[in-house]
Amino acid sequence: MNEVWSKYPGEIMPQLQTSVRSAPESDMLAEVREGLSRPQKELASKYFYDQVGSLLFEEITRLPEYYLTAVERKLLLQCTQWFVTSTGCKTLVELGAGSASKTRILLDGMLRAGTGCTYMPIDVSAAFLAETAGMLRIRYPDLRIMPVNADITRDFRLPKHDGPVLFALLGSTIGNFDEMHATRLLRRIRGQMQPLDTFLLGVDLRKPTLELEAAYNDLQGVTARFNLNILQVLNRELGADFDLAAYSHRAFYDEHLHRIEMHLVSARDQVVTIPGIGPIALTRGETIRSEISCKYDRAAVQMLFEAAGLEIEEWHTDEHQRFALVLGHIRED
Ligand code: AVJ
């Protein structure tokens, strides 16, 4: 982990201390306690994204092995004009607002259409929202920006806004949820939608194990640092005493569950202490699962949409069928 800290110049160090535990996440301790008490120890992958984790993720998106971001961006560049004109959307609600560069493709398209444009990014991190909003305000003086600080895995309310709305869940974020939680999330989004609104989903597609595993085991070891950083987050936020040197990164594709799993493997028998939780014993070789990343095909997306009261309207994919942008609307019945 030392590499991560030494990589960034001193002036941004104070920022790195910013808490990821803002209001929507105040139950971090309870969540961590629950996850680490399961037979398969588990941590919620949203805790990856403190400042260091967000920088590491940005670095991942530029790795040659991690094709997801580049392919999705290419699809967005191809489809945005069509999405904007065919939906007539006036507001973009971005769920778990990710990288600004993809958002900008959609915003550019909406602004070019000239029908007025509101951007409503929803994110758990207040610091991230403030930074994104600040940046976009400079670049887009005509854009109305209404940031919403909320956890999309919980019920949230949106301020009053113009329709039609384009709800976007990009970057394969949906992959982090198992079937039950993905359905719940889409139902929650469906509950916010009006008949003329549309839902845009970015999903990573099923493909040979080798290709998928390469994307989560990059040769530069950035994904490994990203994975280990979650322990650093617990150390800082909860005063835990994880020894980062005693864990290693493991990522594999489960072909039956169609998902990548990321784990932290304990190098030895050890005991971790977290104030308010008490001692947690790990045996040598035992793992903590830090992420799942589910991979889809069209049939799986259709099942998910159906369960959530949505309908696939358009399915856009690249020439190698690596990634898909799915446009949907509410199913009236
Ligand atoms: C941000 C959830 C889409 O699952 O591919 C990248 C996170 N983890 N490398 C993914 C991630 C390891 C990423 N998502």
For residues 63 and 222, the answer to whether their CB atoms sit within 8 Å is yes
Q: Reduced to 3 states, what is the DSSP secondary structure of residue 316?
A: strand
Q: Ligand 1 centre and the CA of 176: distance in Å?
A: 8
Comparing CA positions, the residue from 191, 240, 195, 260 lying closest to residue 35 is 240
Q: For a substitution probing ligand 1, which of 293, 295, 296, 323 has the most ligand atoms within 8 Å of its CB? A: 293
Q: Which residues contact 58 (CB under 8 A, 6 or more apart)?
A: 99
Q: At 144, list the tokens.
A: 């109305």
pTM summary value: 0.90
Comparing CA positions, the residue from 178, 194, 218 lying closest to residue 61 is 218
Comparing CA positions, the residue from 46, 48, 50 lying closest to residue 8 is 50
- Ligand 1 pocket by C-beta < 6 Å: which residues? 60, 68, 171-173, 175-176, 216, 223, 291, 293
As a whole number of angstroms, the distance between CA 255 and CA 318 comes to 22
As a whole number of angstroms, the distance between CA 76 and CA 57 comes to 20
Length of the chain: 333
pLDDT in tens, the chain (333 residues): 222 222 223 222 323 333 444 444 458 999 999 999 999 999 999 899 888 998 999 999 999 999 999 999 999 999 999 999 999 999 999 998 666 778 899 999 999 988 779 999 998 778 878 888 898 999 898 899 999 988 888 888 898 888 899 999 999 999 999 999 999 999 999 999 999 999 999 999 999 999 999 999 999 999 999 999 999 999 999 999 999 999 999 999 999 999 999 999 999 999 999 999 989 999 999 999 999 999 999 999 999 999 999 999 999 999 999 999 999 999 987
- Which atom, in ligand 1's list, is nearest to the CA of 251? 12
